């Protein structure tokens, strides 16, 4: 399945469309530069050059590279949460889930949900940089942990709806289950990147998550 980068929604920080477009172009550029260079190696100048703006345009929207990075992660997580939520409503009703859900059937479902329109290789690189930034800088760590808590809180009800729609239920606390599934996904995606797996060869993350889902869920009881 070929992937492409979805159109980014314009979020106007100051309430003006022009400034909103400037901010989005800086975020788009940062997404590419951070994935290519890493956060510490990447400079504000590189981001500005990629976006086609001056340092003045950067500092009129962000106070630091770290603030830019948090804004980037906020946007990317938001896009993925929205896409996942929409697929629960549009994909699951079209599927025949009356038969036994083995790891291959669930794997196909996971593939449809997680690949979507996104470049997951770039996302894996950028999100890994996010964790490294927090681990290296104690001043960032607390904000990172709080950010992850908010993300998990938004993700849990979406995954819960998907599990319910598939006729299954968690065998442990939903938040703990989702946290485990996220850890499995991250590990599988990193393994895929390390192994040179392309977006069209998704067996590593697909089967890893499918097996994890079978472990943390069971068919609903009557």
Q: How many CB atoms lie within 10 A of CB 144?
A: 17
CB 142 within 8 A of CB 29: no
Given this model, what pLDDT does residue 33 score?
A: 95
In a 13 Å sphere around the CA of 88, the CA atoms on its Cβ side amount to 18
Q: pTM for the complete prediction?
A: 0.75
47: Cβ contacts below 8 Å, ≥ 6 apart: 26, 29, 30, 33, 58, 65, 68
- Local confidence band at 197 (pLDDT 50, 70, 90 cut-offs): low
Min mean pLDDT across 14-18, 37-41, 110-114, 204-208 is at 110-114
- Residue with the two structure tokens 């996220």: 182
Q: What is the pLDDT of residues 38-96, one digit of tens each?
A: 888 899 999 999 999 999 999 999 999 889 989 998 998 888 888 888 877 776 665 55
Q: Is the pLDDT of residue 115 over 70?
A: no
Domains of the chain listed by start with CATH number: 69-219 (1.10.357)
d(CA 197, CA 150): 30
C-alpha 64 chain-centroid distance: 23
Q: Which helix (H) or strand (E) holds 218?
A: strand 217-219
d(CA 207, CA 103): 7
Q: How many CB atoms lie within 10 A of CB 131?
A: 12
- Local confidence band at 8 (pLDDT 50, 70, 90 cut-offs): very low
d(CA 96, CA 90): 13
- Local confidence band at 163 (pLDDT 50, 70, 90 cut-offs): confident
Output 114 or 91, whichever has higher pLDDT.
Answer: 91
d(CA 166, CA 73): 29
d(CA 22, CA 30): 12
Given this model, what pLDDT does residue 110 score?
A: 59
Q: Is the pLDDT of residue 103 over 60?
A: no
Strand, helix or coil at 125? helix
Closest by Cα among 109, 213, 222 to 171: 213
């Amino acid at each position: 399945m070929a992937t492409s980068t979805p159109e980014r929604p314009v979020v106007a920080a100051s309430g003006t469309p022009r400034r909103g477009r400037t901010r989005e172009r800086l975020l788009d550029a940062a997404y590419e530069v951070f994935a290519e260079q890493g956060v510490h190696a990447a400079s504000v100048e590189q981001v500005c050059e990629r976006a086609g703006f001056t340092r003045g345009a950067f500092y009129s929207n962000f106070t630091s590279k770290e603030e830019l990075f948090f804004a980037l992660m906020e946007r990317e997580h938001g896009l993925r949460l929205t896409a996942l939520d929409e697929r629960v409503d549009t994909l699951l009703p079209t599927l025949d889930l009356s038969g036994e859900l083995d790891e291959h059937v669930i794997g196909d479902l996971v593939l449809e949900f997680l690949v979507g329109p996104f470049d997951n290789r770039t996302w894996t690189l950028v999100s890994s940089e996010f964790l490294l930034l927090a681990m290296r800088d104690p001043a960032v760590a607390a904000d990172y942990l709080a950010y992850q808590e908010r993300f998990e809180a938004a993700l849990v009800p979406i995954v819960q709806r998907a599990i319910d729609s598939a006729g299954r239920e968690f065998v442990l606390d939903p938040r703990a289950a989702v946290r485990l599934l996220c850890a499995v996904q991250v590990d599988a995606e990193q393994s895929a990147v390390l192994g040179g797996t392309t977006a069209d060869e998704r067996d590593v993350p697909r089967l890893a998550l499918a097996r994890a889902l079978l472990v943390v869920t069971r068919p609903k009881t009557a």
